[in-house]
Amino acid sequence: MRRPGRHFLQIPGPSPVPDAVLAATARQVIDHRSPEFAELGLSVLSKLGPVFQTTADVVIYPSSGTGAWEAALCNTLSPGDRIITYETGHFAALWSRLAERIGLRPETVGENWRGGVDPQAIEDRLRRDAAREIKAVCVVHNETSTGSTTVLREVREAMDAARHPALLMVDSISGLASADLRMDEWGIDVVVAGSQKGLMLPPGLSFNAVGQRALEASKTAGVARSYWDWGEMIGMNRSGYFPYTPATNLLYGLDAALDRLLAEGLEQVFARHERMARATRRAVQAWGLENLCASPRHFSPVLTTVLMPEGHSADAFRRTVLDAFDMSLGSGLSKVADRVFRIGHLGDVNELTLVGALAGCEMGFALAGIPHQKGGVEAAMRHLSETAAADA
């Protein structure tokens, strides 16, 4: 028996799924080789491009985002290939570790858990690669473990400055449809994404948006692969079908979710996330607490990660909040385990839910005996009401 009222799911993904999207996923399954299915397939495929801001093909996998990480690498790179990464946090590190496990040679050119990728580090390393051994630059757009968003345009410019032909591969699992991502304009070769964040779906689908250069690479390179192989997928997608049984019901939901996003308009979606993020940061500041992201230009529109005062357990605090107020907050991962908690403000979230979430934090501080100043909720409300006029 769940507690009275709605659970507040304020982790940085999975994000709350709109009722209408959940209802769409609960339609009876259909024959994945029927004409009706082809309509569904073509519908979702045609709407995905605009969300990635690309004309490239977008491949849909029945898998988690981790699978799509693997897919991006194994379609384009060959065993022993060098890639460079930048450790913006736990997920950047995990992707790098995954690359290693499937036989690539990743090299981390820098590390910053309190900000975005330093493009200079990329540029420097690429310039030193006279032999053009580096085949890809792999960076995380929005680092879900820290709340920092990399300025991808700068990464592209760094690569251009180095005149290096490496592919630019971007994990935007928690960025897509929340933070601006212009695949074509920014010259990104592969974007990796997942369903359970800005797309407002349950987990279970992941994506590779595949640029022309990546597709070319996939024809001559790649590690042994079958499930993840782009070729067959893109071929069959032309007619709306998939080479193996797709996760039909999540596609129903995807179709509904894409309709919502496109009806709202991407720009408005990004602005809404930004507004929620600002309100949250105002609260953190008012509480006298520190944002893990120390670089304002990398503040994330998706989540905010809060450093606990020295000597206080973030996990104990999260447990208190869960017990007392039925809210889930994100935990600190690996290097920052128990040191931070994360507030997700992405996807299908609005002003009053956000204030409720921030109130859960502020009341939780009181209950858990965390040193803080009151007024965080009020500061957030001030921002939201000041910026509301234009909405109304």
What residues numbered 282-311 form the site for a second copy, per CB under 8 A? none
Supply the minimum distance, in Å, between the C-beta of residue 266 and a second copy.
13
53 backbone φψ class: left, alpha, beta (φ>0; ψ -120 to 50): left
Pick between residue 113 and residue 252 the one whose CB is nearest to a second copy. 252
Interface region with a second copy, contact rule CB under 8 A, candidates 49-57, 117-125, 207-215, 318-326: 318-326
CB 338 within 8 A of CB 306: no
- Cα–Cα distance for residue pair 231/208, rounded to 1 Å: 12
Pick the binder of a second copy from 176, 359, 370, 379 (CB under 8 A): 359
Report if residue 30 touches a second copy, rule: CB under 8 A: yes
Q: Which of 6, 5, 13 is nearest to 348 (CA)?
A: 13
Pick the binder of a second copy from 303, 327, 336, 340 (CB under 8 A): 327
CA angle 196, 111, 10 (to 5 degrees): 30
Supply the minimum distance, in Å, between the C-beta of residue 4 and a second copy.
6
| Residues numbered 63-92 forming contacts with a second copy, rule: CB under 8 A | 63-67, 70, 79
| Residues numbered 109-168 forming contacts with a second copy, rule: CB under 8 A | none
- φ, ψ of residue 117 to 5 degrees: the values are -65, 140
Interface region with a second copy, contact rule CB under 8 A, candidates 61-69, 111-119, 124-132, 177-185: 61-69
Question: How would you classify the pairing of strands 82-87 and 105-111?
Answer: parallel
Pick the binder of a second copy from 50, 337, 352, 373 (CB under 8 A): 352
From residue 237 to residue 276, what is the string marking binding to a second copy with x (rule CB under 8 A)? ------xxxxxxxx--------xx--xx-------x----
Supply the minimum distance, in Å, between the C-beta of residue 236 and a second copy.
13
- Beta bridge partners of residue 171, listed in sequence order: 140, 192
CB 364 within 8 A of CB 324: yes
Interface region with a second copy, contact rule CB under 8 A, candidates 100-108, 158-166, 280-288, 290-298: 100-108
**What DSSP state is assigned to residue 187?**
T
**What DSSP state is assigned to residue 16?**
P
Supply the minimum distance, in Å, between the C-beta of residue 118 and a second copy.
27
Q: How many chain residues touch a second copy (CB under 8 A)? A: 102
Pick the binder of a second copy from 32, 82, 342, 372 (CB under 8 A): 32
- Cα–Cα distance for residue pair 388/59, rounded to 1 Å: 38
Report if residue 101 touches a second copy, rule: CB under 8 A: yes
Report if residue 337 touches a second copy, rule: CB under 8 A: no
Supply the minimum distance, in Å, between the C-beta of residue 183 and a second copy.
23
> For every residue of 110-130, which 3-state class applies, written as one string?
EECCCCCCCHHHHHHHHHHCC
DSSP notation for 351-371: HHHHHHHHHHHHHHHHHHT--
- Which residue is associated with the tokens 């839910």? 353
**What DSSP state is assigned to residue 162?**
T
Interface region with a second copy, contact rule CB under 8 A, candidates 149-157, 183-191, 335-343, 361-369: 361-369
The reply to whether omega before 119 is within 30° of 0 (cis) is: no
Pick the binder of a second copy from 22, 121, 236, 294 (CB under 8 A): 22
Report if residue 26 touches a second copy, rule: CB under 8 A: yes
Query: Count of CB atoms within 10 A of residue 339's CB?
Result: 17
Interface region with a second copy, contact rule CB under 8 A, candidates 116-124, 155-163, 177-185, 221-229: 221-229
Pick between residue 103 and residue 187 the one whose CB is nearest to a second copy. 103
Report if residue 62 touches a second copy, rule: CB under 8 A: yes
CB 187 within 8 A of CB 141: no
- Cα–Cα distance for residue pair 104/367, rounded to 1 Å: 48
Report if residue 231 touches a second copy, rule: CB under 8 A: no
Report if residue 102 touches a second copy, rule: CB under 8 A: yes
